[in-house]
Amino acid sequence: MSQATQPRRPVETGVPDPFPLMHPVLKKNYGNWKWHDRPRPGVLHHVSHSGDEVWTVRAGTQRQMDVHTIRKLCDIADTYAEGHVRFTVRSNCEFMVSSFAQVAPLIEQLEAAGFPVGGTGNSVSMISHTQGWLHCDIPGTDASGVVKALMDEIYQEFIHEEMPNRVRITTSCCQINCGGQGDIAINVQYTKPPKINHDLVANVCERPAVVARCPVAAIRPALVNGKPSLEIDEKKCICCGACYPPCPPMQINSVESTKLAIWVGGKHSNARSKPTFHKLVAAGIPNNPPRWPEAAAIVKNILYAYKEDGRPWERVGEWIERIGWPRFFELTDLAFTRHHIDDWRGARRSLNASAHIHF
């Protein structure tokens, strides 16, 4: 960039127009769809008021794709799916075809090329995930690896539709939780206050901004070894890691103290119940690459308890709402601890102020 003598001014084009890129049947019937059904897992069938029909085949991807993988998807789309694709927010690749006869050969090609077909209806769709060690500046773990390891284990639940309702799993590599809410969420949970490199703080960190960032006012300016730095009241510190991004010398991660926690019952949809946040059910889980077996075991345990006991249409949170938390902890054999009881602002709303007791 420094060598460019005549820098080119950007053309501020913003969000690209999708219509020149859209599958022709989608474009022709834009805003005119009538109903849909699912002929088999991984396939959606939409019918327009015009009588036009389109079949969509949904395939899982690894999200972080090399150009060879993307070109392979393109080759399949060119030969079997009319040259258009779209992606879902969970990194599934969708191929649209205008006749049902094209569905089976397309699925065959995708599966032969190693792309699982599924993720529709009552399945476990692709796990939404964050950057992790591959690219993030503050990661506690590698979401790509956690996701790959878990999707291998619950692969059958992606390609089948056998859950009570759809299951959305998310991962996040720090407590900022870029992965969002999930029926089940696997998120980093720090367990120790940051370790401060006092030699670097004054040069690297904007100290008032760091002090302001702390949710519990546990950080204060201090002079350490004659240098301006910051210190932490470790009794107050909730180990959230909020100070680490604006001040990298306040290292929150360590091999031992960075753990995983599992949360359940998050839901974005408004269907039946209002959207909900996920709730903590297990913590202190080792951050154990390359396949995170301890976290995977707990996720599968919860997933199969739900599969067994959930009623049709109940999302994980709605299932627990019906059976109650005591039964949830019983069915999953997870410990209920003092740490499950919220003490943050608004916590009182999460307490049971009634004689509604599950026995």
Partner 1 sequence: MAKTPHDTPLLDELEKGPWPSFVSGLKRLAADDGKPYANMMRDLVGQLEHSYETRMGYWKGGTVSVFGYGGGVIPRFSEAAEKFPASREFHTLRVQPPAGMHYTTDLLRKMCDVWERHGSGLIALHGQSGDIMFQGCSTENVQKAFDELNAEGMGFDLGGAGPALRTSISCVGHARCEHSCYDEVKAHRGIINSFLDEMHRPALPYKFKFKFSGCPNDCSNAIHRSDFAVIGTWRDDMQVDQDEVKAYVAKNGRKQVIDQIIAMCPTRALSLNDDDTMDVDNKSCVRCMHCINAMTKALSPGHDRGVSILIGGKRSLKIGDMMGTVIIPFLKLETEEDYERLRELGETVIEFFAENALEHERVGETIDRIGLANFLTAIGVEVDPNMVSHPRTSSYVRTDDWDEEAAKWHARKGGAKGSVEAAE
In sequence order, the β-bridge partners of residue 76 are none
The site that binds partner 1 (CB under 8 A) totals a number of residues, namely 121
Stretch that binds partner 1, among 19-27, 189-197, 228-236, 350-358 (CB under 8 A): 19-27
Handedness of CA 62, 68, 74, 78 (dihedral sign): negative
Question: Judged by CB under 8 A, does residue 201 bind partner 1?
Answer: no
- Residue 351 has, within 13 A of its CA and on its CB side, a CA count of 10
- Pick from 240, 140, 252, 136: nearest CA to 186: 140
Q: Which is nearer to partner 1, 232 or 332 (CB)?
A: 232
| Cα–Cα dist 75/81, whole Å | 9
Question: Judged by CB under 8 A, does residue 123 bind partner 1?
Answer: no
Q: Which is nearer to partner 1, 13 or 225 (CB)?
A: 13
Task: Extract the tokens encoding 82.
Answer: 């009319």
What does residue 234 show for φ and ψ, rounded to 5 degrees? -70, -20
Q: Which is nearer to partner 1, 7 or 51 (CB)?
A: 7
- In the complex, minimum distance from the CB of residue 325 to partner 1, in angstroms, rounded to a whole number: 19
From 42, 43, 56, 109, residue interacting with partner 1 (rule: CB under 8 A):
56
Question: Judged by CB under 8 A, does residue 293 bind partner 1?
Answer: no
Q: Which is nearer to partner 1, 344 or 359 (CB)?
A: 344
Question: Judged by CB under 8 A, does residue 357 bind partner 1?
Answer: no
Handedness of CA 114, 118, 123, 125 (dihedral sign): positive
**Could you say which residues in the range 124-183 bind partner 1, by CB under 8 A?**
128, 130-142, 144-145, 148-149, 151-153, 155, 175-181
User: CA dist 52 to 27, 45, 47, 106, Å?
Assistant: 11, 11, 6, 20
Q: Which is nearer to partner 1, 67 or 357 (CB)?
A: 67
**Could you say which residues in the range 202-241 bind partner 1, by CB under 8 A?**
209, 212-213, 215, 240
Q: Which is nearer to partner 1, 272 or 326 (CB)?
A: 272
Indicate the helix (H) or strand (E) that contains 320.
helix 316-323
Question: Judged by CB under 8 A, does residue 110 bind partner 1?
Answer: no
- In the complex, minimum distance from the CB of residue 258 to partner 1, in angstroms, rounded to a whole number: 7
Q: Which is nearer to partner 1, 12 or 333 (CB)?
A: 12
Question: Judged by CB under 8 A, does residue 7 bind partner 1?
Answer: yes
- The residue whose two tokens read 């949170």 is 317
Question: Judged by CB under 8 A, does residue 297 bind partner 1?
Answer: no
Cis, bond preceding 228 (omega within 30 deg of 0): no
Q: Which is nearer to partner 1, 181 or 229 (CB)?
A: 181
From 122, 123, 125, 287, residue interacting with partner 1 (rule: CB under 8 A):
287
- Give the β-pairing of 169-172 and 184-190: parallel
Question: Judged by CB under 8 A, does residue 252 bind partner 1?
Answer: no
From 112, 226, 312, 353, residue interacting with partner 1 (rule: CB under 8 A):
312
DSSP string, 203-263: HH--HHHHHHH-TT--EEEEEETTEEEEEE-TTT-----TTTTT-TTEE---TTTEEEEEE
